[in-house]
Amino acid sequence: MKPVAVIGCGAIGQGWAILFAHRGIAVRLFDVSAAAAERAVERIAVSLSDLCGEHGFMGSDAVQARISVYGSMAEAVEGVFYVQECVPENVSLKTRTFVDIAALTDKEVILASSCSSILPDAFLEHPRFRERCIVAHPFSPPHLIPLVEIVTSSWTSEATVDAVRCLLTSIGQRPIVLRKPVPGYVVNRLQAAVIAESLALVREEVISPQDLDTCMKDGLGRRWAFMGPFQTMDLNSAGGFQEYVNKFYADGYRAICSDLKVHEPWSPRAIDAVEHWRREEVRDEKALALRRRWRDQMLLAIGQFLRDADDRSRTS
């Protein structure tokens, strides 16, 4: 198989590199900052040392060997079949980057952006052969969270959508296709609603930041780790989804929804309260790095558990 190129070597680019390399695909890294690219290789090595040997990540040296840094964008994209752009979230920068990549690649090469919120039409109008350009928005870290949002521009071809969905599925990801672009796409909109209401509850001293996180971690998160809100509703009422709606919406959820604070600005007082709690628990950058490594180990273990559970359900 031909290699892929990853343009931009921040945390998302590093995650994509690990993901592709773990699945046996050679990866070419490029960043306008050579120092950033070299740091990325070092950080990838640390991640692989943590992850390989457990829960399906095997062969740290072999995975690392598939990842190479290139000194120019032209060298990085030469001969690849797929490019994953991971530059910062800025319309002008992404527009220039896609124009540059498109000028260096044949029309058969798919160009995908890791963009997390910008509408595709805002930066995918001008590249050569723009029908092969698309958004493939991952979640951090991409090698441990399988969901990818596929978002099309007005010019993206169905062949490009099918090819990206097929590629992502083949490397173990779970792609979803947005039927039409919306600001922030889908997952960040859901996340924004939860964050806004969470900060409002802390602001109004309904709950502490610690207990709010516990609500998600030990309550909703336990269910939502393996089924979504609609399936949860379907299973939480003897008669299924429609009975749940009939029973709880008119007298319960309608009143709650009218009282939600999701449209209100995030409260500085609530932000300070959350920051104070987090810095008490994780005091500095070194501690944050260690905590991220713990997060990655937990995501890896949860992912393996859920894969095993899926396998058991299919054979039972």
Comparing 4-177 with 188-281, is the CATH topology the same? no
Q: Compute the chain's Rg from CA coordinates.
A: 21
Q: Report in angstroms the alpha-carbon separations of 137 from 16, 120, 182, 235.
A: 11, 11, 13, 30
For the chain, domain boundaries: 4-177, 188-281
Pairing between β-strand 82-85 and β-strand 4-7 as defined by DSSP bridges: parallel
For residue 190, the surrounding DSSP H or E stretch is helix 187-203
Query: Per-residue pLDDT for 93 more than 70?
Result: yes
Residues 19-57 have pLDDT tens digits of 999 999 999 999 999 999 999 999 999 889 888 765 556
Strand-by-strand arrangement of the 110-113 sheet:
67-69, 27-30, 4-7, 82-85, 110-113, 133-137, 147-151, 174-177
Q: Residue 57 has what pLDDT? A: 67
Whether the per-residue pLDDT at 59 is higher than 80: the answer is no
Full DSSP string of 220-269: IHHHHTTS-HHHHHHHTSTT-HHHHHHHHIIIIIHHHHHH--TTSPPPHH
Confidence of residue 308 (pLDDT cuts 50, 70, 90): confident
Q: What is the pLDDT of residue 1?
A: 86
Q: What is the CATH number of domain 188-281?
A: 1.10.1040.10
Amino acid at 222: R
Q: Which CATH number fits domain 4-177: 3.30.70.100, 2.60.40.10, 3.40.50.2300, 3.40.50.720?
A: 3.40.50.720
pLDDT of residue 60: 83
Mean pLDDT of 191-200: 97
Position 54 scores a pLDDT of: 55
Nearest to 201 by CA among 189, 184, 190, 213: 213
Q: Quick check: 171 pLDDT over 90?
A: yes
Q: How confident is the model at residue 135 (pLDDT cuts 50, 70, 90)?
A: very high
Q: What is the pLDDT of residue 251?
A: 78
Q: For 202-214, what is the mean pLDDT?
A: 98
**What band does 101 get if pLDDT is binned at 50, 70 and 90?**
very high
Alpha-carbon distance 141 to 171, whole Å? 15
Q: What is the pTM of this model?
A: 0.92
What average pLDDT is seen over the chain?
94
Residues 221-228 have a mean pLDDT of 94
Q: Is the pLDDT of residue 129 over 70?
A: yes
H or E segment and range at residue 296 = helix 285-315
pLDDT of residue 53: 63
Which has the closest alpha carbon to 214: 235, 198, 230, 203?
198
| Rounded mean pLDDT, 113-140 | 97
Tens of pLDDT along 226-270?
A: 999 999 999 999 999 999 999 888 778 999 999 999 999 999 999
**pLDDT for position 161:** 98
Do 237 and 243 meet the contact criterion of CB atoms below 8 Å apart?
A: yes
Label residue 58 by pLDDT band (50, 70, 90): low
Look at residue 221 in the predicted model and tell me its pLDDT.
95
pLDDT for residue 314: 79
pLDDT > 90? residue 78: yes
